[in-house]
Amino acid sequence: MRARDLAVEYETVSVDSDAMDAARMMAEHKLPGLLVLDERGEPKAILPASQMIKVLVPAYVIEDPTLAAVVDEKHADRLCQALAGRRVGECLSSTAAPPPVANPDDTALEVAALMAQVRSPLVAVAEKAKDGTHLLGVITASHLLHELLGAAGAVSPK
């Protein structure tokens, strides 16, 4: 199995996309994260769902989690207002590393090693060309695991 064969279409957003729309997309499709593309359409970062949740939680609660118990449900229901008017780029961690990108000819083991090394829930599959990088798709950890287990006869194929 090669990366190009494992890659599937996947939801992407740009750094300028609306953060609330991105959060809705994650929630509605139960995605572990989104691939964020730069202004040229090239992979820039992965926005994990956990990072989006971190944006919702007030800084004082992150610093002292015991304060979460004193916030009533009425105020907790307003957490999503923290996304209003924000762009995806503003929600990325300041220490966000570039997303892992596999070459189309990489083997499943090479993709698995890359995913394990950077602890990413997904890997972009892209071809590098003179005019930029062309995204072919994404391989998620769960999809890769399913394919590897299927090849080993440990799960039934799709």
Q: What is the pLDDT of residues 13-32, one digit of tens each?
A: 999 999 999 999 999 999 98
Question: For the chain, how many structural domains are there in total?
Answer: 1
What pLDDT, in 10s, does the model give residues 83-101? 889 999 999 988 888 899 9
119 phi-psi bin (left φ>0, alpha ψ -120 to 50, beta other): left
pLDDT in tens, 94-134: 888 889 999 999 999 999 999 999 998 899 999 988 887 88
In a domain, 157, yes or no: no
DSSP the chain: -BHHHH-B---EEETTSBHHHHHHHHHHHT-SEEEEE-TTS-EEEEEEHHHHHHHHS-HHHHH-GGGGGGS-HHHHTTGGGGGTT-BHHHHS-TTPPPPPEE-TT-BHHHHHHHHHHHT-SEEEEEEEETTEEEEEEEEEHHHHHHHHHHHTTSS---
Domain range for residue 82?
A: 3-151
The CATH code of the domain that includes 48 is 3.10.580.10
The answer to the question of residue 122 being in a domain is: yes
- Say if 130 falls within a structural domain: yes
Nearest to 145 by CA among 100, 115, 125: 115
Residue 30 Rama label (left phi>0; alpha psi -120 to 50; beta): left
Q: Is residue 132 part of a domain?
A: yes
pTM score, two decimals? 0.82
Q: Give yes or no for residue 156 having a pLDDT over 90.
A: no
Altogether, the residues listed in the chain come to a count of: 158
Residue 147 lies in a domain: yes
CA-wise closest residue to 93 among 32, 52, 65, 63 = 52
64 inside domain: yes
Any domain includes 38? yes
Q: Please indicate, yes or no, if residue 156 is contained in any of the structural domains.
A: no
